[in-house]
Structure 1
């Protein structure tokens, strides 16, 4: 018999563990992102959906919260990759055009799969202090992106220089709320309408009206 670091069926122990972990995460995306939802899920049901044993589950995760935490990071990573690609493609564009391109990439990636959206904006809320810290850390990365882009635009003379952090934080909150309500069917709108509305909000955030 091969040792724990040997090969079996042409795959290493690390490759087999990675495959098991991926199967658990795929099953959890269905279980947490659709029905029954994270709060009604169980280890036994998740293992059955993944076609794996509870022993294998506890070899990979401490509990269901750790699975949710990993899914939340993955969902954010997928969206972030789409945004980074859009930023690269929008190099050299003016701030308004650049942000419109980024917003379209973000909205498209974030809402492409309702399960991912539910993980990011619904199931993660109120689970534990640890997951709340993780959520805020990942949210702060989106705030930093807006701040960085606004400051670069200010350096180019496209917008007035100022502290953009409050405006960026408020904008990200508005984005998350809008996407949640849109995908939940609270109002009817096309992708273009949602992107246009968010772009207008961002323009207003970085170019506030003059005060007397």
Structure 2
């Protein structure tokens, strides 16, 4: 399919064309979360099955998307956006807290959002892997965005005298890998721990990076 079909324009059923398009898109993404994030998974889903689950036609699918890969790309971004919004809200709400409590609040918000629905974990850490160079580029770009967020919080802690001054790019990249791996394994049942225990372990790792042995807090 070279491109999407042209969607109808004008008002119908009390809704504008833009409102109807947004609703169709939401229904397709909801259906994708169900099928890609559970059984049968992205690779075994067809346009017909996705459309049927969404309660829409295949023609309406091609009015919104070119391929199923486009749907997976949009869903992956949406799941990451949900988690990012939760983290940003936690950052704002924890600004007055000491470093350890602030880090715990931020990562508890992230973990709670991502693991609230196991299908989100599968989209983020499983289904997106190995699909195409385009989606690999998107996955790495979103991971880099998380790395930048960790670096920004680390630099804020340095400015407060709570963390050792250094370039945190490499350490943040390694830490995000730990976050992704541990949450994936926990969700898959390979780690015997509560979510709070997982978060506590991640916070200990982060504090070890920010406050290495031999470094002491500085008065600002």
Determine if the TM-score, normalized by the shorter chain, exceeds 0.5.
yes
Which of structure 1's runs of 4+ aligned residues deviate more than 6 A?
none
**Correspondence 1:6 to 2:10:** yes
Q: CA deviation at 1:207?
A: 2.6
Aligned to 2:107: 103
**Which residue, out of 79, 83, 86, partners 2:87?**
83
Aligned to 2:168: 164
Bigger shift: residues 184-193 or 30-39: 184-193
Aligned to 2:193: 189
The alignment of Structure 1 onto Structure 2 pairs a total of residues equal to 209
Q: CA deviation at 1:18?
A: 1.1
Contact 2:164 2:212 in 1 (8 A): no
1:41-66 deviation line (CA, Å, top 9, x unaligned): 11111111111111110110010000
Measure the CA separation in 2 of the matches of 1:160 and 1:182: 30
**Correspondence 1:92 to 2:96:** yes
1:60-81 deviation line (CA, Å, top 9, x unaligned): 0010000000000000000011
Aligned to 1:126: 130
Measure the CA separation in 1 of the matches of 2:175 and 2:110: 13
Contact 2:11 2:17 in 1 (8 A): yes
Bigger shift: residues 13-22 or 173-182: 13-22
Contact 2:186 2:193 in 1 (8 A): yes
Q: CA deviation at 1:4?
A: 4.1
Q: CA deviation at 1:210?
A: 5.1
RMSD: 1.5
Measure the CA separation in 2 of the matches of 1:142 and 1:74: 14
Measure the CA separation in 1 of the matches of 2:55 and 2:102: 45
Q: CA deviation at 1:208?
A: 3.1
Aligned to 1:202: 206
Contact 2:151 2:169 in 1 (8 A): yes
Q: Tell me the SS of whatever aligns to 1:11.
A: coil
Unaligned runs of 5+ in 1: none
Q: 1:22-101 alignment to 2 at 5 Å?
A: 22-101=26-105
Q: CA deviation at 1:14?
A: 1.2
Q: CA deviation at 1:145?
A: 1.0
Q: CA deviation at 1:203?
A: 1.0
